[in-house]
């Protein structure tokens, strides 16, 4: 029987949420943590469809008190390291590896956690490698990309989710229907249109018409710029209706909507309906909201399983969404400080994070509307 490895904290996921939190635990709390990553560091970004870039701009402004929006530590900048403003997925994975190497973070790749159980003194975890770990605290930082949400639509097997398309060049056909009109849907439409294809985008909420202060609810300026700069030739936007089914025809496929309309294409429809927040085996450890996201307390801890924390884009506090890096990194310090405090260690160092955009206690400041 293999010996169980014991740590103060086990972090599940080697993406920005996991690496950034591990850095703060180490640098400000002096806390022993290990990151368990099922693939390689930044694997989800490496799997992005070729040509897909981060929506938020990177700019090296650290020295003037404004941290790069895509940075996961206050002292690094993807813009500086990668020399680009909107990094490709593979480029951002390179940045994450640079952070791991620079700060010598303990990352165990090839370890997919398949079971977690809580007990009086913490948690026991088992990975696909047969390795066993014990930790006083666990942080789920697994992200969403590995759990695509394919809508419950009749004939969905005839479509392909955006996360499963390595390159737009490889998608067969000259016309496609994109189901979902938010960021990934418009990215698919613009990328396929640039290849000379005819595209129809269908979304029941018409997000391209929205105007909100929260960029998680509407299209980003980066996407709007692309729409204006590249034009919408060959792209038809269909809003305020829902896809009811996909049907195979003699010469291709038909996508039917609830208003009785039918849209034909000779290539597979593209599913851009987002992702599920957690794997099935993790869900019993959290209470779940009506929208399917996990419930956490004020320090991002499960209300169902004490000692289990959440970090990353799946984080929600009432109507506040933390799905961008510059959003969820604000909670790194909150989680790390709480864990450090419970371990009986000095938390005065966390005061140094104030004003850096990495320690946000008052959630009400996120819930503002823009009057301009």
User: 371 lies in a domain?
Assistant: no
- Count CA within 13 A, CB hemisphere, residue 324: 21
> Can you tell me whether residue 191 is helix, strand or coil?
helix
Spatial separation of the C-alpha atoms in residues 237 and 258, rounded to whole Å:
16
The pTM (predicted TM-score) of the whole model is 0.93
162 and 126 together in one domain: no
Among candidate residues 91, 93, 61, 57, the one with its CA nearest the CA of residue 76: 61
pLDDT tens for the chain, 372 residues long, are: 455 678 999 999 999 999 999 999 999 989 989 999 999 999 999 999 999 999 999 999 988 989 999 999 999 999 999 999 999 999 999 999 999 999 999 999 999 999 999 988 999 999 987 889 999 999 999 998 888 887 788 999 999 999 999 999 999 999 999 999 999 999 999 999 999 999 999 999 999 998 888 888 899 999 999 999 877 889 999 999 999 999 998 888 999 999 999 999 999 999 999 999 999 999 999 999 999 999 999 999 999 999 999 999 999 999 999 999 999 999 999 999 999 999 999 998 888 887 777 877 766 655 544 343
Kindly give, in sequence order, each residue whose CB lies less than 8 Å from that of residue 130, ignoring residues fewer than 6 positions away.
2
The tokens describing 103, both together, are 């700060």
Which run of H or of E encompasses 321? strand 320-321
Query: For residue 168, what is the domain's CATH number?
Result: 3.50.50.60
What angle (nearest 5°) sits at the alpha carbon of residue 38, between those of residues 80 and 94?
15
Domain range for 262 is 156-271
Domain boundary among the residues 239, 271, 303 is at 271
139 and 30 together in one domain: yes
139 and 283 together in one domain: yes
> How many domains are contained in the chain?
2
Domain boundary among the residues 216, 240, 271 is at 271
User: 151 lies in a domain?
Assistant: no
| Residues 193 and 235: beta-carbon distance below 8 Å | yes
Which class for 64: exposed (0-12), middle (13-18), buried (19 or more C-beta within 10 A)?
Answer: exposed
Spatial separation of the C-alpha atoms in residues 183 and 200, rounded to whole Å:
15
Spatial separation of the C-alpha atoms in residues 280 and 48, rounded to whole Å:
23
Cα–Cα distances (Å) from 44 to 145, 227, 273, in that order, read 6, 26, 17
14 and 103 together in one domain: yes
Helix axes 221-230, 183-193, angle to 10 degrees: 20
Spatial separation of the C-alpha atoms in residues 301 and 347, rounded to whole Å:
18
Spatial separation of the C-alpha atoms in residues 233 and 294, rounded to whole Å:
40
131 and 163 together in one domain: no
270-271 and 308-310 beta bridge pairing: unpaired
């Amino acid at each position: 029987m293999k010996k169980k490895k014991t740590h103060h904290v086990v972090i599940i996921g080697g993406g920005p949420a996991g690496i950034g939190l591990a850095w703060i635990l180490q640098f400000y709390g002096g806390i022993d943590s290990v990151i368990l990553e099922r693939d390689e560091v930044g694997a989800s970004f490496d799997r992005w469809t070729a040509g897909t870039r981060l929506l938020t701009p990177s700019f090296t402004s650290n020295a003037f008190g404004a941290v790069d929006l895509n940075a996961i530590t206050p002292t690094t900048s993807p813009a500086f390291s990668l020399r680009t403003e909107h990094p490709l997925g593979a480029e951002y994975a390179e940045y994450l590896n640079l952070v791991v190497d620079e700060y010598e973070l303990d990352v165990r790749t090839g370890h997919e956690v398949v079971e977690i159980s809580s007990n009086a003194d913490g948690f026991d975890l088992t990975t696909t490698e047969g390795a066993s770990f014990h930790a006083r605290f666990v942080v789920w930082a697994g992200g969403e990309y590995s759990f695509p949400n394919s809508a419950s639509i009749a004939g969905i097997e005839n479509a392909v989710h955006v996360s499963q398309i390595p390159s737009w060049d490889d998608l067969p056909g000259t016309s496609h229907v994109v189901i979902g009109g938010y960021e990934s849907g418009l990215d698919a439409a613009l990328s396929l249109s640039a290849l000379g294809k005819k595209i129809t985008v269908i979304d029941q909420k018409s997000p391209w018409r929205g105007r909100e202060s929260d960029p998680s609810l509407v299209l980003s300026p980066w996407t709007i710029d692309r729409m204006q700069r590249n034009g919408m030739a060959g792209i038809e936007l269909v809003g305020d209706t829902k896809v009811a089914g996909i049907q195979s025809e003699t010469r291709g496929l038909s996508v039917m909507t609830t208003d009785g309309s039918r849209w034909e294409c000779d290539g597979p429809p593209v599913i851009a309906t987002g992702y599920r927040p957690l794997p099935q085996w993790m869900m019993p450890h959290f209470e779940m909201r009506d929208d399917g996201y996990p419930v956490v307390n004020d320090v991002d801890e499960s209300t169902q399983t004490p000692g289990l924390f959440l970090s990353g884009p799946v984080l929600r506090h009432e109507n506040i969404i933390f799905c961008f890096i510059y959003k969820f990194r604000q909670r790194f310090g909150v989680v790390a400080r709480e864990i450090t405090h419970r371990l009986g260690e000095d938390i005065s160092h966390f005061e140094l994070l104030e004003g850096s955009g990495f320690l946000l206690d008052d959630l009400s400041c996120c819930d503002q509307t823009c009057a301009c």
